[in-house]
């Protein structure tokens, strides 16, 4: 077991850069693997989740060099139908993105494959991607529980395009169906209840594949091919969120986070912090690798509790553990409703955060689809991250506010998304040790 210990820390005045975006890194490797020609991926995230995607593509015959010391990766594309049957089960570790997106990518490719992962991944819902893929003609199944393993068998006939009205706001579901649509006859379209991150659509366009967008609906036509290119991965806003929150809630702190991806469907954490009174400015906005990028300039101040607007929830679904820490330190009460999806992540993030905050002296009221947090002082204590990387990092940044030592258990999975988190935290003057 890896344990973090954090103590009350001084306000930071720093400029930092966080690692490459995990969502973009996954998609870049997958699409580069089925492209014609070579692709150079710059600033790839060398976290365990993204390495799981690289290893899966290698197991299906793709030649991939790196990640090198500069985090570049070179993918020698196998072509649209160039993947081969792996010699064994594809173990995707803790990566839900790898499993759900590969289910779509492989559904019509013509390979036989079994997708599995660690205990956490094997407990997450997969029927939400398996069922629509089945309607497209894929020979695909999951366990009776609706979870992994996912078993994909070679189809004798081409998939059929479909229009799918998604009942859940999930970019992974949308992406799985669109990736299957690459191999389908006719048009494949997905309509979402609310717009989610569009990294797959942007990445397909970067590889030369046309996409049609119409409000909440996105459509592609099967039969085209992808062309190798150069992809520059922006810094991950989900990783930046921990330090964004830490600086925003710490009076007298000042921080600039460089080159952060600000995809419109990913900036919920900024919107919520603004609602709480945070002083954050977005500077030097530009496009990098078909994604919007900017520098985030934060000046710390006292925050206030809010009713979190429903429209911000899908735009911040991965950042709520950090946001809960901001709420715990704010003046007043923060209320979150309409976020049941948080119970279906690497852990039940509502329950895990509620229990941990209570251990630190915060008054919390967990709800089925959210939480009520009464802001106040945090004291020391021992909390369990339940092997969830975002829970571990969220409680680590509480060290800027807590009045005693916080001990955080089961932190080893931080390496899945943010392998140098501790080093950057120390650079930002967080008093953190690892045991």
pLDDT at 168: 85
Query: Rounded to an integer, what distance in angstroms lies between the CA atom of residue 178 and that of residue 189?
Result: 7
pLDDT at 198: 94
pLDDT at 417: 85
Residues with active-site annotation: 318
ω into residue 149 within 30 of 0, thus cis? yes
pLDDT at 369: 94
Residue-by-residue DSSP string for 333-391: EEEE-S-GGGGGSSS-HHHHHHHHHHHTT-EEEEETTEEEEE------EEEE-TT-HHH
Which residues of the chain have a pLDDT value below 50? Answer: none
DSSP 416: G
Q: Confirm if 347 and 386 have CB atoms less than 8 A apart.
A: yes
DSSP 331: B
Q: Confirm or reject CATH 1.20.1250.20 for domain 4-20+234-434, answering yes or no.
A: no
Q: Confirm if 176 and 103 have CB atoms less than 8 A apart.
A: yes
Cα-trace Rg, the chain: 21
Q: Model's pTM, two decimal places? A: 0.91
Q: Per-residue pLDDT tens for 88-139?
A: 999 999 999 999 999 999 999 999 999 999 999 999 999 999 999 999 999 9
pLDDT at 290: 86
The domain spans of the chain are 4-20+234-434, 22-232
Q: Same CATH topology for 4-20+234-434 and 22-232?
A: yes
Second-level CATH architecture of 22-232: Alpha-beta prism (3.65)
Q: Confirm if 416 and 93 have CB atoms less than 8 A apart.
A: yes
Alpha carbon distances (Å) from 140 to 122, 188, 222: 16, 18, 19
Query: Rounded to an integer, what distance in angstroms lies between the CA atom of residue 50 and that of residue 62?
Result: 15
Query: Rounded to an integer, what distance in angstroms lies between the CA atom of residue 149 and that of residue 163?
Result: 26
Q: Token digits for 340? A: 């049941």
Task: Kindly state the greatest CA–CA separation across the chain.
Answer: 64
């Amino acid at each position: 077991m890896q344990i973090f210990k954090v103590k009350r820390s001084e306000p930071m005045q720093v400029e930092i850069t966080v690692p490459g975006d995990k969502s973009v890194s996954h998609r870049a490797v997958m699409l580069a693997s089925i492209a014609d020609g070579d692709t150079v991926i710059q600033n790839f995230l060398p976290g365990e989740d993204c390495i799981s995607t690289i290893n899966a593509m290698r197991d299906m015959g793709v030649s991939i060099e790196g990640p090198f010391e500069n985090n570049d990766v070179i993918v020698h594309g196998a072509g649209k139908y160039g993947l081969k049957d792996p010699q064994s089960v594809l173990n995707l570790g803790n990566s839900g993105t790898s499993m759900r997106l590969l289910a779509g990518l492989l559904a019509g490719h013509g390979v036989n494959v079994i997708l599995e992962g660690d205990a956490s991944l094997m407990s997450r819902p997969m029927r939400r991607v398996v069922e629509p893929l089945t309607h497209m003609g894929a020979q695909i199944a999951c366990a009776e529980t609706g979870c992994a393993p996912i078993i994909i068998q070679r189809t004798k006939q081409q998939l059929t395009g479909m229009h799918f009205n998604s009942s859940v706001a999930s970019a992974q579901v949308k992406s799985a169906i669109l990736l299957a649509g690459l191999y389908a006859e006719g048009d494949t379209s997905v309509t979402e209840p609310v717009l989610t991150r569009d990294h797959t659509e942007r990445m397909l366009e970067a590889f030369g594949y046309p996409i049609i967008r119409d409000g909440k609906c996105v459509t592609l036509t099967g039969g085209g091919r992808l062309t190798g290119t150069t992809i520059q991965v922006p810094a991950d806003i989900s990783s930046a969120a921990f330090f964004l929150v830490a600086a925003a809630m710490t009076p007298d702190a000042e921080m600039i986070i460089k080159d952060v991806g600000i995809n419109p469907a990913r900036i919920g954490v900024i919107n919520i912090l603004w609602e709480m009174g945070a002083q954050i400015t977005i500077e030097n906005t530009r496009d990098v690798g078909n994604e919007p990028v900017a520098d985030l300039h934060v000046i710390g101040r006292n925050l206030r509790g809010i009713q979190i607007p429903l429209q911000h929830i899908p735009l911040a679904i991965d950042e709520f553990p950090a946001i809960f820490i901001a709420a715990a330190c704010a003046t007043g009460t923060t209320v979150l409703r309409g976020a049941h999806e948080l119970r279906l992540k690497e852990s039940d993030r509502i329950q895990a955060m509620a229990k941990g905050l209570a251990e630190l002296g915060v008054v919390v009221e967990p709800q089925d689809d959210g939480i009520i947090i009464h802001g106040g002082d945090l004291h020391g204590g021992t909390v369990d991250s339940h092997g969830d990387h975002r829970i571990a990092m969220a409680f680590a940044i509480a060290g800027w506010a807590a009045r005693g030592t916080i001990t955080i258990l089961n932190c080893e999975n931080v390496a899945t998304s943010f392998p140098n988190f501790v080093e950057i935290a120390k650079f930002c003057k967080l008093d953190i040790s690892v045991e």
